[in-house]
Structure 1
Amino acid sequence: MAPYVDEALLDDPEELTRKDSRGTLRALASAGAQVREGLTLGHEAGIDRLTDQERPRSVLVAATGGSSIVADVLELLAEPGSPVPVQARRNLPLPGWVGPLDLVVAVSLSGRAPGPLAVAAEAARRGARLLTVGADDSPLAEVCRRARGIHVGTGQTARASSRTALWTLLTPVLVGADRLGLLDAPQSVLEQVADRLDERAEDLRPSSEAFVNPAKILAVQLAETVPVVLGDGPLGGVAAARASAMLARTARIPAPFGELPDAASGIVACFDGPYTTIGGRRHGTYDESRIRLGDIDTSGWEPHHFDEPDGELMERADGPEGGRGRDVFADPYLDGPAPPALGLLMLRDAPAAPATPESVQAESLTEAVLTTAREAGVRVMEVRAGEGDPVVRLADHVAVVDFTATYLAIGLGLDPSVSPHVADLRDRTR
């Protein structure tokens, strides 16, 4: 039986405040402000000095837990045009080739995460250049200062959780990479990121009612499924990894993830399993939800029925065979409750302009996967990023999956920032 999400709870300000004890929703809404503050803090820390320094032989990024997406994003954005290799490293051992010609970037909100701290300390011992982001009064900051590196503090907009302080941590790293010529992220682009995040915070705000708020709608639909998250390319793949991590850590919902084209066969194989109509254990419903974040227009929408003006959000209860639904003769007392259906959350990039043979082929594969899913009775949910530079489009996806995971946790009666089992694990491993 699928877990139940109370939609009325998602629209109750008092309940949202009570369940969200550490202000996760408020922290997520500060993402745009985090970008602007990160730009200021990076400038004050002297990150512009990187422009005058010799380009490093390689860049290694150390980040773990909720901060690990920082390394993923840097790899994603640098890969197409970086003249030097960029790679992630979660913990020691530091590769033997790292030395004075290389740059090590270490990120930790508290400045005390063992992995990044150990990597930074070993890099400093070898004479490598350091760029660190974390609390000013932390061991990580001290290691960086002793090595005469550049340390950027976390300021006032960051919260206790690195999951809600992503842009505080990521912005200085993007600025530094831009100054080194590894990627194209000038201040004008990062200001567009901040503006897009502000737009999403408005679209997905707690006061927006559940039947018109894309993140609340998606949270309710995900709760009714066994979710799998799939990105339609490298950018969607990074967003899918973020979605999987947020669903697990925030909403306590396990969600495997993948990236096309490599994950196509692995994901499609699940359509033969027990959680689809084709799998034979249930007579499933077919529902489709499309959420495009580029230009959300909620005028005229009514509960339980959504038109699709210019490709916005749409929900249908009919299936590919013209209304195939649950078995009306099924006896819940004799047959037991039906297991939840498999759900496919597809994170799609904005259409390539102009189209290329590669983009056309990728779009064709995505449509083929979605068609196969629908025919198997999988519940399909799509999120389409708006137009803009790659990091702007990524911000679209990150905003919606972060808010969705938080609303899902609250709708399930969970505090999105407090996990008793995580606390127990920390106590047992001290």
Structure 2
Amino acid sequence: MLDESLLDAPEELARVDRKGLLRGAAEAGARVRTAARHAADAGIAELRPDGRPRAVLIAGPGTAATGVADLLSALAGASAPVTRLHPAGVAPAAGALRWTLPGWAGSVDLLLIATVDGTEPGLAALADQAYRRGCTVVAVAPERSPLAEAVAGAHGLLVPMARPPHQDFDDAATAAAGPGALWALLTPLLVLLDKLGLVSAGPEALQRVADRLDRTAERCGPAVATYGNPAKTLAAELADSLPLIWTEGEAAAPAGRRFAATLAELAGRPALAAELPMALPAHGVLLSGAFAAGADPDDFFRDRVEEPQALHTRVVLLRDRPTGGLTAAPAARELALGHDTAVSELEPEEGGELELLAELLAVTDFATAYLALASGGRP
């Protein structure tokens, strides 16, 4: 059950937020600026690449690395294929994840490693494998970590990832899924891919992203009451619901998938994400089945006081600002409301693609934090 009174008690929210979820979301803009400085200090701005890589491979554990790969793939588009590497298994001796390059990877490909830890032996072995194959290696990881040493041995480039002093990185889930980790890992790679001509993320664009994150944090912060706070409002709407996150637009799609992942990992809430228009046939059956609004297959008159409230679907519509053309949003609303299913909508203010993405990520990160804290944290 969601304690809605807690949403409008900033001091109490701060007391129960032992993992720094709200502070991590509020500091996202500062993390972008700090990470951009670290990328410049590492020498990315001085790189003079000789053409584009044939493919970009991304490896790293947890929700943050998955989100980075998904976001970069959406932003790069057809400029170069961005492939997320998945562990090939677990090494029997050490119990560590085994990572391996595709058989075709070679000297014309780029390997990116993103991790908030840096102690994973499998990633160090992957950097060594890339060196033997002739792949260029770039990693964002903590300084003075085993991975940093492996990247140096592979003649690769390391961008140090600073750890905020207040955050407890001993909690693997918080480190991997928290909003601060995402921007700390993503920003240096955006700077790199901008130098390679795969995305448009120059200094001015990143400054606008940081400013948009700051403005969104002002609107979604703990001191702003629920009625005027889009993140608190969304968290309250998602209480005791099964969110169906329907996205429309290139920036909205990865934001929706990350929202579903963080709801599960940080708030312990199931959620499904899909892109419009294919979300309509994919999720339509859930609007009329056991999860439908008002569905109750058992005795209407039984005592429910001691029973947990059943989950019912709620559509969350995340959209880019359309620049013209066809949209499936009216059909999505009609389908949901035709089955008495409530709809929550998020649409960012005007801006560039990175700014739209940043706002959607920020609002949903705050909403995840509020839902986790007001419902007692992870089960």
SS at match of 1:104: strand
The answer to whether 1:333 aligns with 2:331 is no
In structure 2, list runs of 5 or more residues that go unmatched. Answer: 88-98, 170-174
Pair 119,260 (structure 1): closer, same or farther in 2 beyond 3 Å:
farther
What is the total number of aligned residue pairs between the two structures?
Answer: 356
Aligned to 1:86: 82
Deviation, 1:334, is 8.3
Matched, 1:178 2:149: no
Q: Which residue of 2 aligns with 1:351?
A: 322
TM-aligned CA deviation for residue 277 of structure 1:
4.6
1:386 aligns with 2:349: yes
Worse-superposed segment, 252-261 or 13-22: 13-22
- The answer to whether the 8 Å contact 1:90/1:115 transfers is no
Q: Which residue of 2 aligns with 1:314?
A: none
Alignment partner of 1:51: what SS? Answer: coil
109-118 vs 212-221, greater mean Cα deviation: 109-118
Cα 1:117–1:383, aligned 2, differ >3 Å: closer, same or farther? farther
Which secondary structure does the structure 2 equivalent of 1:21 belong to? coil
Shift of 1:130: 0.7
Across the aligned residues of Structure 1 and Structure 2, the Cα RMSD in angstroms comes to: 2.2
- Give the aligned partner of residue 229 of structure 1: 245
Shift of 1:20: 0.8
Alignment of 1:199-238 (within 5 A): 199-238=215-254
1:363-396, Cα deviation, whole Å (9 max, x unpaired): 1x22102211011011211111222121111111
* Amino acid in structure 2 at the alignment position of 1:228: L
Secondary structure of 2:57 counterpart: strand
Return the alpha-carbon distance in structure 1 between the equivalents of residues 232 and 209 of structure 2. Answer: 23
User: Which residue number corresponds to residue 323 of structure 1?
Assistant: none
| Residue 153 of structure 2 corresponds to residue 146 of structure 1 | yes
Asked if the contact 2:294–2:312 (Cα under 8 Å) also holds between the matched residues in 1, the reply is no
| CA spacing shift, 1:206–1:119, aligned 2, 3 Å | same
How far apart, CA to CA, are the structure 2 residues paired with 1:179 and 1:153?
18
Change (3 A) 1:78 1:115: farther
Aligned counterpart, 1:74: 72
Contact 2:151-2:158 within 8 A present in 1 as well: yes
The answer to whether the aligner puts 1:59 opposite 2:56 as a matched pair is yes
From 97, 100, 120, the equivalent of 2:104 is 97
Equivalent pair of 2:127/2:154 in contact (CA under 8 Å): no
Change (3 A) 1:251 1:134: same
- Judge conservation of contact 1:174–1:185 (CA < 8 Å) in 2: yes
Residue 342 of structure 1 pairs with residue 339 of structure 2: no
Correspondent of 1:21 among 18, 23, 43: 18
1:275 aligns with 2:291: yes
Q: Find the counterpart in structure 2 of residue 245 from structure 1.
A: 261
Q: How many Å apart are 1:98 and its aligned residue?
A: 1.0
Provide the rounded CA distance (Å) in 1 between the counterparts of 2:217 and 2:353.
19
Partner residue in 1 for 2:333: 370
TM-score by length of 2: 0.88
Q: State the 1:243 CA deviation.
A: 0.5
Matched residue of 1:97: which SS? coil
Q: 3-state SS of the aligned residue for 2:267?
A: coil
Q: Distance in 1 between matches of 2:6 and 2:304?
A: 32
CA contact (8 A) 1:31 1:198 kept: yes
Cα distance in 2 for partners of 1:230, 1:249 equals 19
In 2, distance between residues paired with 1:147 and 1:382?
A: 47
Contiguous gaps of at least 5 residues in structure 1? 283-329, 420-430
Q: Residue 235 of structure 2 contacts residue 368 of structure 2 at CA under 8 Å; is this kept in 1?
A: yes
Computing the radius of gyration from Cα coordinates, the structure with the larger value is 1
User: Taking every aligned residue pair, what percent have the same amino acid on both sides?
Assistant: 37
Structure 1 residue corresponding to 2:119, chosen from 112, 133, 150:
112
Cα distance, 1:237 vs structure 2 = 1.6
- Counterpart AA for 1:383: L
